[in-house]
Amino acid sequence: MVNKELVQNKIEALEGTKEEFVPIEQVRELTNAIKSLFEGNFEEVNIELYGELGELARFINNAKKELQDFQPDSLSNEKLPEASDQLAAIVTTTEDATRKIMDSCDDINAIHERVRDRLLSIEPPLDPDVVASIEDSLMEAQTSSMQIYEACTFQDLTGQRIQKIVETLKEVERQVLRMVIIFGLNNENAKSIDEDKKKALQSDADLLNGPQLPGNSLEQDDIDDILNQLL
Amino acid sequence: MAVDKNMRILVVDDFHTMRRIVINLLKQLGFSNVVEAGDGKEALEKVHSDKIDLVVSDWNMPNMTGIEFLKELRADERYKSLPFIMVTAEGKKENVIAAVHAGVSNYVVKPFNAATLKEKLTKVVGEF
């Protein structure tokens, strides 16, 4: 404020002069006053900037402390990979179970065939109505067996969905690793992350596709409508 | 004209379970001359080495996806009209349109049953 008033006074003094030429001393005084005014402003700006930077530094320190409490290195090195392994184990388990179910369906179908053959080869032949009735029942059982087979597509769909979750977890793992490195939270662990792991994480992105959730995907009838229009 | 039930069908899927299901459904429909492949790349080799009459392929597979495999086929004059049914969990409209533009003959969304597969086969190869 002092500088501002000083400049104002100098300007008024210059405007009030009746002389044709203004003394150089007066111009110099005005220039110095203006210069001083701006310097003052710059100082104000600098102080403000330092203040902001100080706040930012405090914020970063707090965030860093919170992240350390959160143990991101343990999250990226242990918990997330463990979660991925658990999900992979689900895929393997359901795959094994599905294979056993399908093997059993195949066995049941083979048994049905054998029963049918035996039925037709019985001597003396059974009443044709009885044979037809048993054959109908066998056919029904085979249809049910086929439906079990069809239902086994769940393994493919859940497998793809779980794969999608695993890739998302890997992406989270990647981001946490970056955070560990950027913030220098536990440098020893950050340095110990081997290059193969980093490369492996990098190369997983192209398998992110998977089945859409119900509601995000078209039904077969909708697809048929599109095909009818385009094919 | 009656469909040749002895036609050679190439079933492509990276999931062994899924291949087994499709092959079993095809057998139920009377088609037992089936060849298998685990991805688009292997499928392309099978198309070149075996005389394939129809392809039933998944979309999402490692090495070469179903859509890439389809495009490779259509780029080759010999396979421009080889019947190709996409059987996939990719049920988004843009996927269907992309497959049509790539030259797919028909499109089945998973999960599906024998009736749907039969209907699509009939549309592609004729009544059987």
Digit-coded pLDDT (tens) for B1-44: 678 889 999 999 998 888 999 998 898 889 999 999 999 999 99
* CA B88 to each of CA A41, A184, B14, B22: distance values in angstroms, whole numbers, following the listed order: 67, 45, 12, 12
Longest Cα–Cα distance in chain A: 145
CB within 8 Å of B10: residues ≥ 6 apart: B34, B35, B36, B37, B43, B46, B47, B50, B52, B54, B55, B56, B57
Closest approach of chain A CAs to the CA of B89, in angstroms?
5
Domain ranges of chain A: 2-66, 75-212
Q: What is the pLDDT of residue A204?
A: 47
Q: What is the pLDDT of residue B99?
A: 96
User: Cβ A95–B108 below 8 Å, yes or no?
Assistant: no
DSSP of A96-132? HHHHHHHHHHHHHHHHHHHHHHHHHH-SSPPPHHHHH
Mean pLDDT over B120-124 rounds to: 93
- Residue ranges in chain A modelled with pLDDT below 50: 1, 187, 189-190, 204-209
What's residue A206's pLDDT? Answer: 41
Q: Which CATH architecture has domain B9-120?
A: 3-Layer(aba) Sandwich (3.40)
Torsion angle in degrees (nearest 10) through CA of B60, B61, B67, B72: 180
Return the pLDDT at A20: 66
- Residues of A within 8 A of B60 (CB-CB) are 160, 209-210
CA distance A168 to A176: 12
Q: Which of B19, B58, B124, B113 is nearest to A227 (CA)?
A: B124
Answer yes or no: are the C-beta atoms of B104 and B19 closer than 8 Å.
no
* Residue from B11, B14, B16, B21 to probe the interface with A (highest A Cβ count within 10 Å): B21
User: Which of B85, B21, B5, B120 has its CA nearest to residue A148?
Assistant: B21
Distances (CA, A) of B29 to B25, B64, B66: 6, 29, 24
Residues of B in contact with A207 (CB under 8 A): 62
Q: Report chain B residues whose CB lies below 8 A from the CB of A113.
A: none
Which among A155, A218, A227 has CB closest to B17? A155
* Cβ-Cβ contacts under 8 Å, B17 against chain A: 95, 98-99, 102, 152, 155-156
According to the model, what pLDDT value does residue B28 have? 85
The predicted-structure confidence for A61-81, as pLDDT tens digits, reads as follows 887 777 777 677 777 777 888
Interface of A with B (CB under 8 A): 95, 98-99, 102, 146-147, 149-157, 159-160, 207, 209-212, 216-220, 222-223, 226-227, 230-231
**Tens digits of per-residue pLDDT, A114-150?**
999 999 899 888 899 999 999 999 999 988 998 898 8
Min Cα separation B111/chain A (Å): 6
Give the mean pLDDT of B47-73.
95
Question: Greater confidence, A84 or B75?
Answer: B75
Chain A / chain B CB contacts < 8 angstroms: 94
Alpha-carbon distance values, A80 to A86, A154, A183, A198 (Å): 10, 25, 19, 14
